A and B are shown apart, each in its own frame.
Chain A
Amino acid sequence: MRRLGARRERGWAAAILGALALLAFLPLAVQRDDVLNFVFVTLLSITLAQSWNVVAGYAGQVNLGHAAFFGLGALTARTLWIGGTPLAPALAAGALVATAFALLIGVAAFRLRGAYFAIGTLALGEILRTTVSNVLPEISTLPTAAIATYRLSQRYYLALALAALSVVAVALLSASRLGLGMQALREDEEAAEAAGVGALRLKLTALALSTALAGLAGGLFAYYHISYYPSHAFSPSWTFDALLMTFIGGVGTLHGPVLGAVLYVFLKEYLALRWVDFHLLIFGALFVVIVLLLPGGLVQAAARARRLLAR
Chain B
Amino acid sequence: MPLLEVERVSKDFGGVRAVHDVSFTLEEGELLGIMGPNGSGKTTLFNLIAGALVPDGGRIRLAGQDIAGLAPHRICARGVARTFQLVRPFAGLSALENVLVGRLYGRARGRAAGAVAEAERLLALVGLEDRAHEPAARLTFVDKKRLELARALATSPALLLLDEFLAGLNPAETASAMALVRRLVGEGITVLMVEHIVWALLDLSRRVLVLSAGEKIADGPPAAVAADPAVVDVYLGGAGGARARA
Contacts and interface: CB of A to CB of B under 8 A. Distances in A.
Contacts of A192: 90, 101, 105
Contacts of B84: 191, 194
B90 A4 contact: no
B82 A180 contact: no
Closest 3 pairs between A and B when the two form their complex, measured CB to CB: A196-B105, A187-B90, A196-B106
B81 A194 contact: yes
Nearest to B82: A194
A193 B71 contact: yes
Interface string B82-99: 101000111111101100
Interface string A27-55: 00000000000000000000000000000
B50 interface: yes
A195 B151 contact: yes
Interface stretch (B72-80, B204-212, B213-221): B72-80
B155 A196 contact: yes
B112 interface: yes
Contact of B100 (A180, A186, A198): A180
Interface residues of B, number: 38
Contacts of A199: 73
Q: Is the interface of A mostly helix, strand, loop or mixed?
A: helix
A268 to B, nearest CB: 29
A290 interface: no
A195 B116 contact: no
Contact of B88 (A2, A3, A177, A188): A188
A119 interface: no
B93 A196 contact: no
B105 A195 contact: yes
Interface in A188-227: 188, 190-199
A4 B81 contact: no
Contacts of B105: 177, 181, 184, 192, 195-198
Contact of A181 (B71, B81, B101, B112): B101
Interface of A: 1-5, 177, 180-181, 183-184, 186-188, 190-199, 252
Interface in B107-140: 107, 109, 112, 115-116, 132-133
20 contacts: A1-B112, A1-B115, A4-B94, A4-B132, A5-B97, A177-B104, A180-B100, A180-B101, A180-B104, A184-B101, A187-B91, A187-B93, A188-B88, A191-B88, A191-B90, A195-B101, A196-B76, A196-B106, A196-B109, A197-B73
B110 to A, nearest CB: 11
B155 A195 contact: yes
Contacts of B89: 188, 191
Contact of B73 (A5, A180, A188, A198): A198
A190 B93 CA distance: 16
Contacts of A188: 88-91
Contacts of B72: 190, 193-194
B159 interface: no
B152 interface: yes
Contacts of A186: 92
A3 B97 contact: yes
B133 A195 contact: no
Given A187-B91, A187-B93, A195 B112 contact: no
A29 to B, nearest CB: 41
B52 interface: yes
Given A184-B93, A193-B76, A196-B101, 14 more contacts: A4-B97, A5-B94, A180-B97, A180-B101, A183-B97, A186-B92, A192-B105, A195-B81, A195-B152, A195-B154, A196-B73, A197-B73, A198-B74, A198-B105
A273 B103 CA distance: 53
Interface in B134-186: 151-152, 154-155
Contacts of B36: none
Q: Which of B96, B101, B109, B152 has the most CB of A within 10 A?
A: B101
B102 interface: yes
Contacts of B51: 193
A187 B136 CA distance: 11
Question: Which of A192, A193, A194: most chain B Cβ within 10 A?
Answer: A194
